[in-house]
Amino acid sequence: MDEVTISTAEAMVTDLETPSPAFTSAFAQHGAVMLLVGLDEVQLVAHVSYLTKNSEFFQAAMKREWAEGQTNIIKLPKDDPKTMTDYLTFTYSRDLPTSKRVEGCPNLTEDDWNSVAKLYVFGERVLDTCIRNTIVSEIVRVATMPDAKGNTSFIGSVASNILFDGTPKRAPIRRLIVDEHISNGKKDWLDATDNPELLLDLAHALLEKVSCRQPYEEFRRRKMKAEDYFV
């Protein structure tokens, strides 16, 4: 298991084998797993049934033939506790950091978009198709939802770079970002610090639009469909 190591601390194992009163009996019967997240090993506890519901990575990790599946302890030293907490929130409630954004409300902050981008990258790493596609739908939803002044919001420059840094070539989310740049982008969306692959993909897409028969303005007026960018 790459990037996943095991702790054999007996106290932790004992705690996991005896669910706290906060766990309902319905939850407790599925067992719990301790996640030690980041270099400081921040402790988060999740129910196995929720952790493994959509993630192929966690499904594999919790198999009995692996040490993780025997100890119910997983170390994630390279991950961020905030992102892991956001991931668990989604697995339990389907809420994202942007879920409360409704029409007429102020647009999302850069921190909001960065949280969503990091969550997508985490979903990529743990092989969770559900959260990746849900985030795509959420980006499209928010992008078409005006605030009180009629302005719309799209994923920012920092978040775009997080996504390009953390996803493979030809990832659908990359096409979404490029298409949105072509449709609604402004020159101040880009600078010299942007991911080179983002700039290259955008250049290729622009050249393709210029050379194809479809009028550029027609492309800009089209209605974006989330399913076009699903994994």
Q: Which of 23-27, 127-131, 143-147 has the lowest mean pLDDT?
A: 23-27
- Asked if 139 and 179 sit in the same domain, the reply is yes
Residues 106 and 69 in one domain: no
Do 182 and 87 sit in the same domain of this protein? yes
**pLDDT tens digit string along 51-81?**
999 999 999 999 988 888 889 999 999 999 9
Same domain flag for 118 and 202:
yes
Rounded-to-integer distance, Cα 91 and Cα 49, Å: 10
What CA–CA distance (Å, rounded) separates 129 from 119?
A: 12
Residues 134, 190, single domain; the answer is yes
Q: Are residues 95 and 186 in the same domain?
A: yes
Q: Is the pLDDT of residue 99 over 70?
A: yes
Mean pLDDT of the chain: 84
Please give the pLDDT value at position 16: 41
Domain extent for 15: 1-79
Model-level pTM?
A: 0.82
**What pLDDT score was predicted for residue 206?**
87
Whether 128 and 229 share a structural domain: yes
pLDDT at 196 over 90: yes
112 and 42 co-located in one domain:
no
Q: Which residue, 86, 95, 98, is CA-closest to 46?
A: 86
116 and 212, same domain (yes or no): yes
Q: Do both 174 and 191 map to the same domain?
A: yes
| Statement: residue 3 has pLDDT above 50 | no
| Same domain for 123 and 61 | no
Mean pLDDT (whole number) for 24-50: 81
Residue 189, pLDDT > 70, answer yes
**Residue found under tokens 């909001």:** 112
Domains in the chain: how many in total? Answer: 2
Q: How confident is the model at residue 213 (pLDDT cuts 50, 70, 90)?
A: low
Same domain, 199 and 97: yes
Name residue 227's amino acid.
E
End-of-domain residue from the set 19, 54, 79 = 79
Choose the final residue of a domain: 79, 108, 129: 79
Confidence class of residue 129 from pLDDT cuts 50, 70 and 90?
very high
Burial (0-12, 13-18, 19+ Cβ within 10 Å), 58 = buried
Tell me how far apart the alpha carbons of residues 14 and 1 are, in angstroms, rounded to a whole number: 24
Q: Vertex 80, ends 97 and 83: CA angle to 5°? A: 15
Domain finish residue from 79, 112, 138: 79
